[in-house]
Amino acid sequence: MSILEIIKPDDWHVHFREGDFIKSLVPETSKLYNRVIVMPNLSNPITSIAQIKKYKNEILNNSVNKNFEPLMTFYLTESLDVNELIKAFKNNLVFAVKLYPSGATTNSAKGVKNFKNIFPVLEKMSEKNIPLLIHGEVNDKKIDIFDREKIFIENELIPIIEKFPFLKITLEHITTKFAVDFVEKSNSNIKASITPHHLILNRTDLLEHKIKPHYYCLPILKKEQDRKSLVAAATSGSQNFFLGTDSAPHHINDKENECGCAGVFNTINSIQMITQIFDNENRLNNLESFLSKNGPNHYSLPENKDKIILKKLSKPLKFNKYLENNNYKIRIFNPPFPIYWDIKEELI
């Protein structure tokens, strides 16, 4: 198979950051995807309608795709105004709410410390059918960083699901076999997004011989058996898993630093490398489910009408190393294998 036609994909987890970054990041994403869920962890987290309107406008002003639809999120704090959330949801301004355990990742200091304190908001969200998107890791010095997803599921997620069985939940960027198995046996309201880099890398890739700061992300890369389990889940055709790139750029100086930031910028080659992964697994027949069908199905949205054509080339693709201008330089994720698939054209 060297030509594939699939429904145009969506990215169910992306970071556009702020200021200058938006001007370069939004065009790259809107070229490839029709809908994206935009993360709210700006330096001043998004918790109000006024902030949503301003941020969404900025994003739309930089889009290069007339069908591009940024789906906006509120940042869940223990003091989030429920009335503001309901009002925003009713007016189609907010699509979902993102839960960061306090301190778990970039700009998460204002996240949740005591999960019981958000139960009143979760109750309303369940009632109104507002999806909850979760960064599923505990942030606890006593818990080893490689165990934080599992402990979050056991100690925080299970009680939330038991109390709110009808709440639509996305466990974002899962990284472990434990999370895959958990989602597979959960009720149909719980699904998971998976990133390209967690499908490609394990912790040995990050740490062996020399440290690779551009592979450093949160949740941190796990063991090879975990990566294999993610690949099996993504390529299986199961409706429980879909793409969320978690493309999360930082300026190169903030990555190559004695205290480097977490996040991988993978937008530019994301669809191409995912297609290559499915090809390597002989599962191209399930690519469209993972990229274009399972997400809308989970979020009760229609599938995109546009299609794209992917073509397998005889020589590997070459990508630029950096996305840069006078003000910043961002390293583009470079997977450690050749990519032969490219997007040939769009059928609109």
Contacts with Zn ion, residue ranges (CB under 5 A):
246
Classified as helix, coil or strand, 347 is strand
Q: Which is nearer to Zn ion, 76 or 308 (CB)?
A: 76
Beta bridge partners of residue 96, listed in sequence order: 73
Q: Is 226 helix (H, G, I), strand (E, B) or coil?
A: helix
Secondary structure element (H or E) that encloses residue 304, with its range: none
The closest residue (CB) to Zn ion is 246
Percentages helix, strand, coil for the chain, rounded to the nearest 5? 40, 20, 45
Nearer to Zn ion, 246 or 279 (CB): 246
**98 vs 150 by CB, closer to Zn ion:** 98
Closest CB 78 distance from Zn ion, rounded Å: 20
* Token pair belonging to 245: 């790139």
Cα separation, 131 vs 299, in Å, equals 8
Please, what is the Cα angle at 303 between 160 and 281, to 5 degrees? 80
Question: Nearest distance from residue 11's CB to Zn ion, in Å?
Answer: 11
Which residues are marked as active site?
Answer: 246
> Is the bond preceding residue 219 a cis peptide, omega within 30 degrees?
yes
Kind plus residue range of the DSSP H or E element containing 309 = strand 307-312
Tell me whether residue 156 or residue 246 sits nearer to Zn ion (CB atom).
246
Compare residues 4 and 261 and give the one whose CB is closer to Zn ion. Answer: 261
Three-class DSSP category at 156: helix
Rounded CA separation 125/33 (Å): 27
At closest approach, how far in Å is the CB of 246 from Zn ion?
4
Residue 248 CB, shortest distance to Zn ion, in Å, is: 5
In the complex, least distance from residue 134 CB atom to Zn ion, rounded to whole angstroms: 11
Beta bridge partners of 193: 242
Least distance between Zn ion and beta carbon 46 (Å)? 14
For 288-322, letters b (16+ CB in 10 Å) and e give bbbbbbbbbebbeeeebeeebebebeeeeeebeee
Q: Which residues lie below 8 Å from residue 38, measured CB to CB, with a gap of 6+?
A: 14, 15, 16, 55, 56, 59, 70, 71, 72, 73
Q: Is the Cβ of residue 246 or residue 288 nearer to Zn ion in the bound state? A: 246
